Structure 1
Amino acid sequence: MSDLQKAWAKSRLSSGMSPDAFDEREEEEDGYLTEMPEPTFEDDSSSASSASSTGTIIPSPSRNLFARPQGVPRGRTLQQIPWTTYFERELFLKTEDAPSSPTLHAYLISPVDKGPLFVMHHGAGSSGLSFAVVGSEIRKRQPSAGILSADARGHGSTTNPDSDKLDLSLATLSKDLLSVIKSTKEEMKWKELPSIILVGHSLGGAVVTELAMSGALGNALLGYVVLDVVEGSAMDALQSMQTYLSTRPNGFATLEAGIEWHVRSRTIRNSVSARTSVPALLSQDEVRTDSRPWKWRTDLASTQPFWENWFVGLSKKFLGARGGKLLLLAGTDRLDTELTIGQMQGKYALQVFPEAGHFIHEDLPEKTAVSLVDFHRRNDRSALVLPPKVSDLLRQGKKV
């Protein structure tokens, strides 16, 4: 509020109006915060945090991290958006009888009639709600489509009885995703699996590629989509990952503060998506030993023994697995040599969104949804009209 406005407000005291009331009106009229300068990168060579789903940038200490970005609503508008806004149900799937096996958690919108099922896998440190907003955008464009978005071990609402010995190897995560798909089929009493498009972000891209490479889904798999991760840049980014993780806050005073940090730091550039996905990344410390009781649900630093296992050989598997292939990137600098050659040979489709950060699907849910729906339509075998067989024509008495 300017000095002139304050003087005006004080002059109204005699009439019973408080200067604070003027402040409240001004805040309502503003509605949004002012622009924050684009942050710089400590490592501008590639996707500096492709191994992590809690960030794509490493802000420079010289920049004001908490400047006000345009379009970030204040106050109540940073409150959590519940998962029920986007999904019809959540599933708790016990896939094995062993006491140490996890109870896998997933969110679901069922496909309609013969609609496809988009099966989503998030990146390290994230959760199935990372795909909530883009899932709703897919449904707007293809109402018959279903969305199945799972929480990996040690993430979201998936519970792990033996959490001290958490197995996050690529083979285990791929097996878990297959179990989620098959268990959902049984839970929902589907006669057969619908046509499936696998979609994975960062670590999730490695998981869906591994599952596609295994051939375990058979003819149900139409294709797979990888979001902003390639082997070369991911392996390079691992060298600075611990440094990046050390720059993150250890916790937050409130859930809204956690949401606000993700938007202000431009980790997630869409406030609606941040309000939906960030709450699943945090859990409240019941003991409350400090002033920031909201802690990270997943200890990413402890997953370091698995980092190399996630991404080694990713490019070769991505190009070699059966089914349609789509790679969505936030920049062409992320392409490694093998994928560059494969793209020139037309082995997969590539789309680049330079205005997005690492979380392409959260930053640009509408554009991502358009790409995913178009990808399904290009690979949808049910839309093919095959010519009649010669034997059938002869039986009908027609000349051939």
Structure 2
Amino acid sequence: MSDLQKAWAKNRLGAMPVEAFDEHEEEELGSVSELPEHFDDDSSSASSASSTGTVIPSPSQNLFARPQGVPRGRTLQPIPWTTYFERELFLHDKTSPQSPNTHAYLTSPVGKGPLFVMHHGGGSSGLSFAVVGNQIRKRLSSAGVFSLDARGHGSTTIPEGQTLDLSLETLADDLFTALRLTQQVMKWTESPPIILVGHSMGGAVVTELARSGRLGNTLLGYAVLDVVEGSAIDALQHMHTYLSTRPTGFQSLEMGIEWHTRSRTIRNSVSARTSVPSLLTLEEKKPGDTRPWKWRTDLAATQPYWENWFVGLSSKFLAAKGAKLLLLAGTDRLDTELTIGQMQGKYNLQVFPEAGHFIHEDLPEKIAISLVDFHRRNDRSALVLPPKVSDLLKQGKKV
């Protein structure tokens, strides 16, 4: 390049505006890969028309602008459930008038794919598993995901005037009934193979259902997320202190999302933007109340059931039939019984020290990998069984 060309290029570059570089923004933009892709299934209510639209260039369009869809970057805007699930269901057992009207989210399995059945922890909701469910389907496209709101949580309601019963047996009954009703609503001729997944209180619920044997041979295994009997019982002593430091409400949904991320209750902003809105409800504004968004679930009112959820959990977890997986945020959570069981190879254990209590929301990709691998290790459809002796005799073969 001649001296004249170099001088011309230098002058041109010097005239161009230089945008300031924001380190924090770059860090946020680097996490965009966590955002889910929209489903392309035509039957899905979550399918995006914009994903199949034709882009027509025009002088007013910026063809290199970030595509519209789920807001990215540092926004606190809520992400709708339709981003992750095909449909929502309202399930009520007409033969039992006292049963709840259970609200659930569902993406159906494909072919003989498994159904991951999720149960959230106390005070949470079915959307707690939205992002990790999406990550599961990215790695196992035939998988289905079913995630419900327990009674007293999310959009699940009980008959008017009925006392809220959150006992372990009742919650396990609700989960079993919801699965039975879902099979009827979806007109499945048979139940798909099931992997139960429960977080905290939900871990106790799926363990109770697995122990009951009501799912029969459809149950491949169950996974419990960050709850063991010993540490759970110890933590209950500090619950009132935690609840007293938690805000009683928020000015907006965005403020609720921000609190969850700033307090590191949920360490993944995408998951917080998805699950937190279902934890709050807008109440009629009272004079002087600047925080009309209140918690849907009164956690303090669930205290009578805390010990019922967790006492005996370790022995139940080890005794129930089916493959077992325990995912923890720290080895300090293991009690003696589970430590012995782990040494004896009675279950699989994985630890994620970089996560908080909501490990499936903090690390959805890593938890999804663990759950998919757990399914593959226990997938019976991959087994090739030898022919029955009676069938060989019918074929005239010597045995």
Q: Report the equivalent of 1:338.
A: 337
Amino acid at match of 2:125: S
Structure with larger Rg: 2
Matches within 5 A, 1:239-318: 239-289=237-287, 290-318=289-317
Shift of 1:388: 3.0
- Name the SS for the 1:304 alignment partner: helix
Matches within 5 A, 1:111-126: 111-126=109-124
Shift of 1:395: 5.7
Is 2:25 the counterpart of 1:31? yes
- Name the SS for the 2:132 alignment partner: helix
Amino acid at match of 2:273: R
TM-score normalised according to structure 1 size: 0.80
Contact 1:100–1:162 (8 Å) recurs in 2: no
Amino acid at match of 2:84: Y
Considering only aligned residues, what root-mean-square deviation do their CA atoms show, in Å? Answer: 2.1
- Name the SS for the 2:238 alignment partner: helix
Amino acid at match of 1:283: T
CA distance in 1, matches of 2:243, 2:307: 17
Pick closer, same or farther for the CA change 1:394–1:97 going to 2, 3 Å: closer
Pick closer, same or farther for the CA change 1:251–1:387 going to 2, 3 Å: same
Compare 164-173 and 121-130 and name the one that shifted more. Answer: 164-173
Match of 1:165 among 152, 163, 166: 163
Is 2:370 the counterpart of 1:376? no
Pick closer, same or farther for the CA change 1:186–1:126 going to 2, 3 Å: same
Pick closer, same or farther for the CA change 1:270–1:393 going to 2, 3 Å: same
Q: Report the equivalent of 2:51.
A: none
CA distance in 2, matches of 1:111, 1:277: 23
Q: Report the equivalent of 1:323.
A: 322
Pick closer, same or farther for the CA change 1:26–1:280 going to 2, 3 Å: farther
Identity %: 76
Shift of 1:165: 1.6
Contiguous gaps of at least 5 residues in structure 2: 1-17, 29-71
CA distance in 2, matches of 1:196, 1:163: 34
- Name the SS for the 1:366 alignment partner: helix
Q: Report the equivalent of 2:346.
A: 347
1:221-241 CA-to-partner distances (Å, cap 9, x unmatched) read 110000000000000001111
TM-score normalised according to structure 2 size: 0.81
CA distance in 1, matches of 2:143, 2:175: 19
Paired residues in the alignment total: 338
Q: Report the equivalent of 2:92.
A: 94
Compare 97-106 and 144-153 and name the one that shifted more. Answer: 97-106
CA distance in 2, matches of 1:316, 1:294: 40
Pick closer, same or farther for the CA change 1:227–1:134 going to 2, 3 Å: same
CA distance in 1, matches of 2:394, 2:184: 41
Amino acid at match of 1:372: L
Shift of 1:28: 7.8
Shift of 1:101: 3.0
- Name the SS for the 2:189 alignment partner: coil
Q: Report the equivalent of 1:139.
A: 137
Shift of 1:97: 4.6
Shift of 1:286: 1.8
1:349-374 CA-to-partner distances (Å, cap 9, x unmatched) read 00001111101100000010011011
Pick closer, same or farther for the CA change 1:333–1:30 going to 2, 3 Å: closer
Contact 1:95–1:104 (8 Å) recurs in 2: no
Compare 125-134 and 164-173 and name the one that shifted more. Answer: 164-173
- Bigger relative contact order, structure 1 or 2 (CA pairs below 8 A, ≥6 apart): 1
Q: Report the equivalent of 1:365.
A: 364
CA distance in 1, matches of 2:220, 2:161: 35
CA distance in 1, matches of 2:255, 2:87: 28
